[in-house]
Amino acid sequence: MSGVLGPKELLALYAQGLFPMADGREDTRAAIVDPPLRGILPLNALHIPRRLRRTVRQNIYDVRVDSAFGAVVEACAAREDTWISHGIEYLYDGLFTEGHAHCVECWQGDDLVGGLYGVRLGGAFFGESMFSTARDASKVALVHLCARLIQGGFTLLDTQFITSHLGQFGAEEIARADYHKRLEKALPLKGDFAALPTGTNGQNALAIVDGAQAS
């Protein structure tokens, strides 16, 4: 796949509402997907369960940004049913190098225990995958991601599909046509992924998320 697409071509697919998926880690080809129903997480209507709020406030994880992108993608690809082939991983590494892909990580000491990654384009962020080897680590990363997107002026958080994990946060499934309209409005914006200082604690992240709902 890496011989067919490069980072620029991949970004062009995202601008059209498309994304790649492989059938497995060793798959040498990938489908370009535009599902009839699309998952999104409304940044102005996030639901954070009470127990997770407590975990976020306790700052039990050291939350970092873009310090171990390759490790996060590799951990996400370690699932038995992964759609992240080696070719897709190569492409996202290229996007990261060019500043269009980002990750949020949760650490315990020297151990990377959770995180997520995705693609940034205009005022849209396309969440790709997440992983966790410690309790609620990926959920904590998601809360910090949402705070970062809100602070940076993003208007669309694309989750691709709906899972029970995302459903806890108020994820919605919308029709393809509705998704494309929202994407069209988000693309001309200039979302700033670095607007939130690195090292922002959990209490401040929650305040940003709650503030977006109040506005």
Q: What is the pTM of this model?
A: 0.93
- pLDDT digit string, tens, across residues 166-204: 889 999 999 999 999 999 999 999 999 999 999 999 999
Q: What is the rounded (10 degree) CA torsion for 130, 133, 136, 138?
A: -20
- pLDDT digit string, tens, across residues 54-73: 999 999 999 999 999 999 99
- Domain assignment present for 58: yes
What is the structure's pLDDT at 214?
62
In terms of DSSP H, where are the helices of the chain? 7-15, 50-58, 69-77, 86-97, 137-151, 164-167, 176-186, 202-214
- Domain assignment present for 138: yes
- Domain assignment present for 116: yes
With a CB cutoff of 8 Å and minimum separation 6, the contacts of 212 are 43, 44, 46, 150
pLDDT interval class at 22 (50, 70, 90): confident
Question: CB neighbours (10 Å) of residue 185?
Answer: 14
- Domain assignment present for 89: no
- Domain assignment present for 210: yes
φ, ψ dihedrals at 64, nearest 5°: -125, 165
- Domain assignment present for 126: yes
What is the structure's pLDDT at 27?
67
Question: Is the Cβ–Cβ distance between 148 and 196 less than 8 Å?
Answer: yes
The total of structural domains in the chain comes to 1
Domain that holds residue 152: 35-80+102-214
- Domain assignment present for 141: yes
